[in-house]
Amino acid sequence: MIFVYTTCSNKKEAKKISKTLLEEKLVSCVNYWDCESMYPWGGKLTEAKETILLCKTEDNLFGEIRDKIQELHSYELPVIASIPVEINEEYVTWMERQIK
């Protein structure tokens, strides 16, 4: 199992991506919350309000999830990271029933 991490420009975009990933059964659950970010972009230091997505899924679906996020995302260069995790077996069983 993995978590897929990405940031979105706002909550509306985060919900759109989350809904698509859930409807296509690529993820079992998505958590999202607002944050503030700081990063260099275009030669200057940028500060932005963003919404983080943390998607729970199986590692074999990462490529498909990455492609879907890139297709729906407004950013020129979104971060899409796979984070391996250990999850309690009961939750894994539930997750597997939610994913294709």
Element (H, E) at 95: helix 89-98
Predicted pLDDT at 100:
82
Predicted pLDDT at 81:
98
Give pLDDT tens digits along the chain (100 positions): 999 999 999 999 999 999 999 999 999 999 999 999 999 999 999 999 999 999 999 999 999 999 999 999 999 999 999 999 999 999 999 999 999 8
Check if the beta carbon of residue 47 is closer than 8 Å to that of residue 57: no
pTM: 0.93
Q: How many CA atoms lie within 13 A of 47 on its CB side?
A: 1
Structural domains in the chain plus CATH codes? 2-98 (3.30.70.120)
